Amino acid sequence: MPYEPMTRGLKFQIRVEDLTGRDVVVVTCPVCHWSCNVASHVFYARYHELRKLIDVAKDMKCKRCQNRKDMVWRIERAVGPQGPRLA
């Protein structure tokens, strides 16, 4: 299923509870440019719903180079088919 970038407001205002089941957080390491897609249920399992994603980003670590500083993240949402559904 394809993903499209989405905007939920300013980055410092987005909370874990704002993520839906169709959302994925794409985390990119600025040092080695490794990218990872993290499903929203992972954030719900590890963090409180009212925690801001800016604070969650401080806990993120690159699996390849072990970098913890300045991890870049963005939210993308899965989009379904554009046509009408057949029953």
Give the residue extent of every domain in the chain.
3-78
Q: What pLDDT does residue 37 have? A: 93
Neighbour-count burial of 49, counting CB atoms closer than 10 A to its CB (0-12 exposed, 13-18 middle, 19+ buried):
exposed
Among residues 29, 34, 20, 31, the alpha carbon closest in space to that of 76 is found at 20
d(CA 54, CA 32): 21
Q: What pLDDT does residue 38 have? A: 93
| Residue segments in the chain with a per-residue pLDDT below the cut of 70 | 1, 83-87
Q: What pLDDT does residue 29 have? A: 94
This model's pTM is above 0.75: yes
